[in-house]
Structure 1
Amino acid sequence: MAEILVLYYSRHGATADMARLIARGIEQVAGMQARLRTVPEVSTVCEAVEDEIPAAGPPYATLDDLRECAALALGSPTRFGNMAAPLKHFIDSTSSLWLEGALIGRPAAVFTSTSSLHGGQETTLISMMLPLLHHGMLLLGLPYSETDLLHTSSGGTPYGPSHLAGTDSSLPLSDAEQRLCRALGQRLAETTARLQGRP
């Protein structure tokens, strides 16, 4: 089984919900398995001290999770049109992988959740793409053959799935948003399989 890392930070749960849906899409492809990982909180003053194992949800990511993955789906809520600090803090720790060229040629995709419809979904997705490009990864988006991109009134972009969580972050993922998450997971897994020479 090839493992695809679904790495995310989630504050109110929506990005975690998206990660689980992407993992479902990945596991629809024969021979592909999702590995869910998250990152700990950080403080604006100093690095937050967290237990090594979170109280709930998937384990915290390590550099080995990235080194071992066949592909990557990276997700974050929007923070002023950018990825959230905890995810950026983890990504900033990956210089040793960059020096090794460990991620060169591996497929990658991104996803996000925002409080408002025009709250920086696309710029957040692009902010996550930039370090992946520096790592030499192959970026995938969503093609318009996913017709939900043409009709959604909530989240959904060609850069990757997105979710409109509402000002109190309580809106559940719409049916279209859910389909786009699963579609991204499946596309990422199918592309990974083709690159590995699988039928």
Structure 2
Amino acid sequence: MQISIVYDSKTGNTQEMARYVIEGITSVEGMKAKAFSIDNIDAEYVKNSCGLIVDTPTYNGYLSARMKAWLESGPAALQVAGKLGGAYATAAFIHGGGDLAIQCILTHLMVDGMMTYSGGQSYGMPVIHLGPVAIAPQLEQFADLFRTYGQRMATQAAALFRN
């Protein structure tokens, strides 16, 4: 089983965090994951995935304009309905809008028919309500949080879709 990650990344921060999410996903037996820039998506890989995690940097307290534009038609074209969806963000400030960006992504994914998931408080600490947010420039200190998020997403995908 596989999960796809689609991200927008201007400085490389959001792309870097995908690496940690992939480490978490692949720590679950039988799970694979790949990350793609919105400029270079492997449509067949995404279509054959059981989940999609969408990631954005924050600008002006919200998701990037490029990601917002992609969300308007990109996921539906990749046949994501019925799959597991999630989101994360990167920001320059703790109050930089990461949670708003994630909420916007999750709303788009639900409109496209996806089941969104984060694990919430059901796993205990660390609690990840909507999706993780990494604050630059100390991205490394959020690595374990992002690995945990990937592991939780993969565990839920396996529970839902493993035959």
Please indicate, yes or no, whether the TM-score normalized by the shorter chain is above 0.5. Answer: yes
Q: Cα offset for 1:183?
A: 1.1
Which whole-Å CA distance do the structure 2 matches of 1:68 and 1:23 have between them? 17
1:5-154 map, 5 Å: 5-40=4-39, 60-94=40-74, 97=77, 102-144=79-121, 145-149=123-127
Q: 2:146 aligns with which of 181, 186, 189?
A: 181
Q: Cα offset for 1:95?
A: 7.3
- Conserved 8 A contact 2:75-2:109: no
Q: What secondary structure sits across from 2:147 in the alignment?
A: helix
Q: Which segments of structure 1 move beyond 4 Å, counting only runs of 4 or more? A: none
Q: Return 140-149 or 67-76, whichever deviates more.
A: 140-149
Structure-2 residue corresponding to 1:164 = 135
Q: Cα offset for 1:6?
A: 1.1
For 1:89, give the aligned amino acid. Answer: A
Change (3 A) 1:5 1:164: same
- Conserved 8 A contact 2:119-2:153: no
Percent identity over the alignment? 24
Which whole-Å CA distance do the structure 2 matches of 1:88 and 1:138 have between them? 19
Specify every segment of 5 or more residues in structure 2 that has no aligned partner in the other structure, as ranges: none
Specify every segment of 5 or more residues in structure 1 that has no aligned partner in the other structure, as ranges: 41-59, 150-156
Change (3 A) 1:159 1:30: same
- Conserved 8 A contact 2:5-2:34: yes
Which whole-Å CA distance do the structure 1 matches of 2:56 and 2:125 have between them? 24
Which whole-Å CA distance do the structure 2 matches of 1:130 and 1:89 have between them? 14
Q: Cα offset for 1:140?
A: 0.9
Aligned residues: 162
Which whole-Å CA distance do the structure 1 matches of 2:109 and 2:77 have between them? 11
Change (3 A) 1:10 1:146: farther
Change (3 A) 1:39 1:95: closer
Which whole-Å CA distance do the structure 2 matches of 1:16 and 1:96 have between them? 22
Q: TM-score, normalised by structure 1?
A: 0.73
Cα RMSD, aligned residues only? 2.0
For 2:106, give the aligned amino acid. Answer: M
Q: Which has the larger radius of gyration?
A: 1
Please tell me whether residue 196 in structure 1 is matched to residue 149 in structure 2: no
- Conserved 8 A contact 1:164-1:173: no
